[in-house]
């Protein structure tokens, strides 16, 4: 991580007057049938795969300029999503698009489900993983045969510019458009009619997106966030728990939607857990994380100020230092935080971790269920009964037992929230299904056409139906 003050780049833009014509052009392309053939879909997916492979150095450089991301984290948790999702879609494209048999009924005929593309879709990406969270859902939309508008985040302007410059070299720009910009451009996009909108970000903007979509009865997928709890009981392996919690919380400087947002630990093991987390932070980032090339900075000064305010007035166990000029906040652990404190009312989205004590698992479950449903939930325990109890008595978008973050890495599982943490899901085939319409089709023969189906409805016909049903 550089010790120099950050230089924020100008917010990118797109001519607002060109947004409506751009969407209309994409709709004309879709209506022409151009995006439906599997050959077109395969060509686009191969192009995206080549983009991720050939432009990875440029993307890493942009991510480092915007956020100071370590190269390894940039490649594994962001850019790496391109390869994983594109290869999976290419391997399974024929299988996913094959009509699904739904059985045969006497007289009526054979039924099947056909996947149709939805049309023109809008994908709005966040800034914390600005490459993967734009391109990953894009891959599902391409596999399903849609045209689309891609909206990168203006909060990471260099990455947005790299995507806008480089990605069009690998895709069909008559069917796929990239619209850069901020609030003005996004608001103009939301005035247009789309056939699906996938938004990743915070709940406040999610409500705006949903309200705008409702004007055209456009379905939405909302990938939001919230306060993901991490429960640690007295049976946990504390050395492992401390290391895995520290990794999941402080990677990307806590700017991860499924990062542990707070810990609920049984009081008898609180001290040992804190020591374990502190030891892991030292192993990861050394004596001064501010000088570590493996530690990300906060994305901009505005977010730095927000996180700093949340920390104010609380007891710091370790960490706590910050530098607004470098957008740096040290990995920080807080203790004795009241459940009513502001830091416990909103998603932290930064490298600050409150530790709250509980006396037993029931108290932890009650605490979690007394708040909005989280995007992720973590439990560290060696008690299988405790694991089953937490899974069966709480609700969350996803869960990970004795680990953090990694449940998102399996593209065969859906990723999404529940309630205030989101609606809908994607990844792998789930992305393809999100951007597809499942059309029920019945194919009848013409030889059998029994008259009992038609009027007049005689008593004899009625009696026969009564026996059948």
List residues with catalytic annotation.
223, 257
How far is 195 from 19, CA to CA, in rounded Å? 16
**Cβ proximity of 21 and 40 under 8 Å:** no
What DSSP letter does each residue of 311-327 carry, written as one string? HTTSEEEE---EEGGGT
Half-sphere exposure in the Cβ direction for 325 (13 Å, CA): 4
DSSP H helices, 297-398, are 301-311, 361-369, 384-393
How far is 403 from 405, CA to CA, in rounded Å? 7
DSSP 8: P
Q: What are phi and psi for residue 45, nearest 5 degrees?
A: -65, -40
Phi-psi label, residue 192: left if phi above 0, alpha if psi -120 to 50, beta otherwise: beta
How far is 175 from 297, CA to CA, in rounded Å? 36
**Cβ proximity of 423 and 416 under 8 Å:** yes
How far is 271 from 300, CA to CA, in rounded Å? 34
Walk across the sheet containing 422-423 and list its strands. Answer: 176-178, 147-151, 120-124, 196-200, 220-223, 422-423
**Cβ proximity of 358 and 269 under 8 Å:** no
DSSP 5: P
**Cβ proximity of 149 and 174 under 8 Å:** no
How far is 297 from 285, CA to CA, in rounded Å? 13
DSSP 76: I
Give the Cα-Cα-Cα angle 403, 408, 413 (nearest 5 degrees).
115
What DSSP letter does each residue of 14-76 carry, written as one string? --GGGHHHHHHHHHHHHHTTTT-SHHHHHHHHHHHHHHHHHSHHHHHHHHHHHH---HHHIII
- Beta strands 220-223 and 422-423: pairing type? antiparallel
DSSP H helices, 286-357, are 301-311
Place of tokens 């020591």: 275
Under 8 Å CB-to-CB from 218, ≥6 apart: which residues?
193, 194, 195, 196, 197
Place of tokens 């806590």: 254
Q: Which of 146, 222, 171, 215 is nearest to 418 (CA)?
A: 222
């Amino acid at each position: 991580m550089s010790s120099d003050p950050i230089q924020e780049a100008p917010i990118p833009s797109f001519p607002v007057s060109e947004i409506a014509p751009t969407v209309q052009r994409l709709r004309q392309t879709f209506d022409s049938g151009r995006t439906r053939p599997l050959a077109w879909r395969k060509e686009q997916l191969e192009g995206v795969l080549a983009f991720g492979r050939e432009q990875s150095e440029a993307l890493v450089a942009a991510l480092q300029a915007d956020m100071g991301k370590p190269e390894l984290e940039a490649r594994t948790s962001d850019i790496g999503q391109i390869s994983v999702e594109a290869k999976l879609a290419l391997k399974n494209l024929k299988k996913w698009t094959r009509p699904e048999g739904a059985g045969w009924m006497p007289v009526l005929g054979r039924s099947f489900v056909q996947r149709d593309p939805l049309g023109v879709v809008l994908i709005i990406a966040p800034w914390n993983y600005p490459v993967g969270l734009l391109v990953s859902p894009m891959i599902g939309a391409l596999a399903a045969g849609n045209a689309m508008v891609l909206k990168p985040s203006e909060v990471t302007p260099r990455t947005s510019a790299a995507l806008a410059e480089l990605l069009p070299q690998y895709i069909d720009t008559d069917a796929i458009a990239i619209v850069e910009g901020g609030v003005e451009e996004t608001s103009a996009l939301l005035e247009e009619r789309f056939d699906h909108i996938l938004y990743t970000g915070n709940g406040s903007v999610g409500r705006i997106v949903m309200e705008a979509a409702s004007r055209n009865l456009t379905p939405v997928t909302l990938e939001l966030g919230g306060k993901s709890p991490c429960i640690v009981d007295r049976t946990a392996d504390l050395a492992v728990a401390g290391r895995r919690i520290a990794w999941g919380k402080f990677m990307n400087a806590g700017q991860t939607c499924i990062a542990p947002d707070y810990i609920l630990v049984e009081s008898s093991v609180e001290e040992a857990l804190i020591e374990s987390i502190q030891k892991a932070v030292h192993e990861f980032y050394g004596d001064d994380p501010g000088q570590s090339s493996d530690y990300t900075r906060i994305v901009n000064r505005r977010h730095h100020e927000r996180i700093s305010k949340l920390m104010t007035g609380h007891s710091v166990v370790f960490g706590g230092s910050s530098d607004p000029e470098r957008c740096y906040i040290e990995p920080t652990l807080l203790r004795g935080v009241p459940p009513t404190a502001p830091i416990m009312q909103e998603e932290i989205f930064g490298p600050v971790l409150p530790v709250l004590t509980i006396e037993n698992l029931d108290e932890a479950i009650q605490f979690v269920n007394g708040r909005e449903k989280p995007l992720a939930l973590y439990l560290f325990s060696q008690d299988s009964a405790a694991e089953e109890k937490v899974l069966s008595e709480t609700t969350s978008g996803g869960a990970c037992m004795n680990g953090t973050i990694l449940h998102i890495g399996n593209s065969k599982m859906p990723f999404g929230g529940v309630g205030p943490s989101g609606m809908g899901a994607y990844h792998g085939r789930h992305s393809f299904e999100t951007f597809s319409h499942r059309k029920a089709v019945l194919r009848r023969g013409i030889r059998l056409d029994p008259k009992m189906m038609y009027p007049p409805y005689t008593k004899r016909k009625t009696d026969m139906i009564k026996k059948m049903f």
